[in-house]
Amino acid sequence: MAAATKVLATLRTHWKKTTFGVCLLSWGGNWLYGKHCDNLLRRAACQEAEVFGNQLIPSSMPLKKATVFLNLAACKGKARNLFETNAAPILHLSGLDVTVVKTDYEGQAKKLLELMENTDLIIIAGGDGTVQEVITGLLRRADEAAFSKIPIGFIPLGKTCTLSHTLYPESTNQVEHITNATLAILKGETIPLDVLQIKGEKEQPVFAVTGLRWGSYRDAGVKASKYWYLGPLKTKAAHFFSTFKEWPQKHQAALMYLGPTERPPEEPEEKPSRPPLYVRLYRRLRLYWSSPSKEIPQEVAPEDWEELKLSTVELSIATRNRQLDLTRTEDFMDICIEADTVSKGQFVSRGSQKMRDPHTCPEGSQCIQASRCILQLPEGTEGSFGIDNEEYEAMPVEVKLLPRKLRFICDPRMREQMLHATVQ
């Protein structure tokens, strides 16, 4: 009893040290508990992956090859540790023949894609920039028609992973998010995603799955990291200081565009079986002996281009991948032209919304649905485009929608949600 009284008296005397110690112990206990929960998640994911690895395959069937493009610079250099700790064990336990290609600098993935040999599966481990580089390198290949049919998996390791909102359920736990994405890759459920082909006058085309942004919100958002010392206020500070420039901030250009196109029926994934030899011989003989018929040339309808002059605080051209509808009958991209009459207060408040959802189209904006557009900028225009959150020099460009161009692997639950929402 006396000892307990003495301890309480000591704690009361040194109450500042006591408070600090309690806070430190609480934080340490919470950190250890979080690490324990993460280890449980990894163990459960590895056990599930082991089920795939234990499946029997015929001796004549080769192992399924998977090529992983890992961006070591993603997530401020933490991507390698995140991948090797959370994703790599799952892939190796699944029985895949995994090849990891590590990229160290910007543009390396595009070059490596040109040299890539045949693979059964492409896995992108990084953020938006890594996705943009890999699909650009893939679609620049001479044999892109064949390689674009390879399913693509995405492991979200970057600071910004816009595509993960479409492919995987939301999760606040990074370990859970990465392991769920890796397990989804093993299950192999795919959805078709649209791609934007963005071509300048001289440069090779760049490809994007999210979209293009040009304007003041994008420019201010890029500078938000400079105000890191303001914590949660850094975004508002970046947009507030941006208003000190010439106001209103207008971006002027000319836009030509074509309307939506009708969606053709989806091609079957499995090729029809080859007919017997005698059927093929009969067809060739009938074609050889039949009299040649004159082909009637079909008239090509002229393209109906719309043209407008625009003055905007920001222009965005986005795919429909964020609001994916698997049964829609038309293919188009969304063009949002925001009014240039926005006040400084509205600019600062909307800036925070734009950081969360960059391609949101505020009330009062002009929204256009198009399958193809040409953006002409005045001579001497400065600034930059944001293409899938990667910076490119602003220049006149042609943007063309490539509907359902690539098949990305998604979580089966997300696919069910999309189909269920469409039925309703």
The answer to whether the CB of 159 falls within 8 A of the CB of 76 is yes
CB neighbours (10 Å) of residue 286?
Answer: 9
Distance CA 260, CA 264 (A): 12
Report the chain (424 residues): mean pLDDT per 10 consecutive residues: 69 70 80 84 90 83 89 87 92 90 85 85 92 92 89 91 89 91 92 93 88 91 87 88 84 92 70 67 73 50 81 92 84 91 88 84 88 91 88 92 93 83 58
CB neighbours (10 Å) of residue 164?
Answer: 25
- Find the farthest-apart pair of alpha carbons in the chain and give their distance in angstroms, rounded: 115
DSSP letters spanning 141-167? STTHHHHTTS-EEEEE-SS--TTHHHH
Q: Which two tokens stand for residue 114?
A: 């040109």
| Length of the chain in terms of residues written | 424
Q: What's at 354, amino acid-wise?
A: K
Distance CA 147, CA 135 (A): 10
Res 380: pLDDT? 82
Q: What torsion, rounded to 10 degrees, do the Cα atoms 134, 135, 136, 141 define? A: 100
- The contacts of residue 303 (CB under 8 Å, 6+ apart) are 258
Nearest to 150 by CA among 183, 117, 179: 117
Nearest to 151 by CA among 190, 110, 200: 190
Distance CA 222, CA 317 (A): 18
Q: For 267, which DSSP code?
A: P
Res 272: pLDDT? 58
Q: Which domains does the chain have, with CATH numbers?
A: 32-54+61-188 (3.40.50.10330), 211-264+303-404 (2.60.200.40)
Q: Which two tokens stand for residue 286?
A: 């009938």
Q: What's at 81, amino acid-wise?
A: N
- The contacts of residue 352 (CB under 8 Å, 6+ apart) are 235, 236, 239
For the chain, the helix, strand and coil percentages under 3-state DSSP, each to the nearest 5: 40, 25, 35
Distance CA 265, CA 234 (A): 48
The answer to whether the CB of 225 falls within 8 A of the CB of 234 is yes
pTM of the shown model: 0.84
Q: What's at 304, amino acid-wise?
A: D
The answer to whether the CB of 150 falls within 8 A of the CB of 122 is yes
Distance CA 405, CA 195 (A): 6
Res 7: pLDDT? 65
**Coil/strand/helix, residue 314:** strand
The answer to whether the CB of 193 falls within 8 A of the CB of 167 is no
CB neighbours (10 Å) of residue 312?
Answer: 23
